[in-house]
Amino acid sequence: MPKRHLRDLTVSVIGLGCMGFSQSFPPFPSREESVRTIRQAVDEGITFFDTAEVYGPFTNEELLGEALEPVRDQVVIATKFGWDVHEGDGAYRVDKPFDVNSSPEQIRHAVEGSLRRLKTDHIDLLYQHRVDPKVPMEDVAGTVADLIKEGKVLHFGLSEAGPTAIRRANAVCPVTALQSEYSMFFREPEHEIFPVLEELGIGFVPFSPLGRGILTGSVRRTTTFDSSDFRSGVPRFQGENFSSNMDLVDALSEVAAEKGVTLPQLALAWILAQKDYIVPIPGTKQIRRIQENLGALGVDLSPEDLARIGKILEEHPVSGERYSPSHMKFVNRG
C-alpha cells in the first residue's frame, strides 16, 4: 500500500471513513459484521481510520476500539471533538444536529471519553469537528497543545475550517491536517484553502470524496432517500438539483467506461492526482467496496484525461447546497 504524508504523519494513501457504520447512511450492519469489515480493511493495507465522538453518538468510536485493538500499533486513528454531546444523549438526528462546544473543559471531557471508547492511551490525530464561534481558536489550539504535551494526543487537526481559523490555530499548535468535503462534486477548497495548506505545510483529508454516494454508481435517477438518511435533507439530492447533478454523473460514467474502470475508481484517482498531500477517506460498510476503491491506485490519468474531466466539471456545475440549512450554519469560511 502506498503511503502519503499529512505534515509529519504517515498514513495509507487512502483511508477509511467509518461514520456510515453507525450513522447517517442506513441500513447499518451488525457490530460483528462491522468489526470484520474494518479488520479486513487493515488486511487490505489501509492504516488510516476516521471516526468521531458524535457518530452515533459514541457507538462508532466503540466499534473502532473493538475492531482495531488487536492491531493498534499498526494503524492511525483519527477522531474529533467539538459538539455539545454527553453520555446518555439520544441518537444523532438528521434534522437536528447537536450544537457546537469547543470549550477547553469540553475538549478534555471528549478526549477522555474517546480514549476509553477507542481502547487506547493516545489519539493519533485529533480534529476540532467544527469551528466554535464562541471559543477563541487560540484557546482550542492551546488546549490541544497541552494534550499533546501530556501524550494523550499526537497530532492536531481541523475540520471544515476557513483560512483565518487555520492560520490562528496553526500559530498556536501546528496543524497536521484539515478535513473538509472535497470531490468532483464539491471543489470549493481549491480556491482559498489549498494555497493556505501549501504555505503552512498542512495535509488535506477529503471526506465524502465520492459525493456522498452519488459517484459510487449505486445512485440512480429513480433513487429515493429514507427520512433517516442524511441525504434526504440535502438540497443537491432533491428535485431538479438531483436531476441536473445526475447529468454530471452520466458524463463522468462515460469517461470511466472508456478507461475500463468504475466511477468511484475514476473519482478517487482524480482526487489523488490533484495534490500529493491529499488522503481521501471514502466511507463504506462493505469490503467489496473497499477493494473497489483501492483499485483507484492503479488508475493512470493522463494530462488529456484530466483536461477532459475538467471540461466536464465546468460544463456541469453542481446544483444545490451540500448541507441542509440546519447543518450549513456550522460551516466556517472565515
Report the alpha-carbon distance of residue 106 to residue 120 in Å, rounded.
Answer: 19
End-to-end CA distance of the chain: 36
Report the alpha-carbon distance of residue 152 to residue 52 in Å, rounded.
Answer: 16
C-alpha Rg value of the chain to the nearest Å:
19
E strand or H helix that includes residue 43? helix 31-43
Report the alpha-carbon distance of residue 88 to residue 5 in Å, rounded.
Answer: 37
Cα–Cα nearest to 49, from 32, 33, 68: 68
CA 181 to chain centre: 7
- Residues with active-site annotation: 55
Q: Which residues contact 330 (CB under 8 A, 6 or more apart)?
A: 97, 100, 130, 160
SS3 for 49?
A: strand
Cell of 250: 452520466
SS3 for 207?
A: strand
Cell of 161: 475550517
Cα–Cα nearest to 238, from 303, 323, 312: 323
185 near 215, Cβ under 8 Å? yes
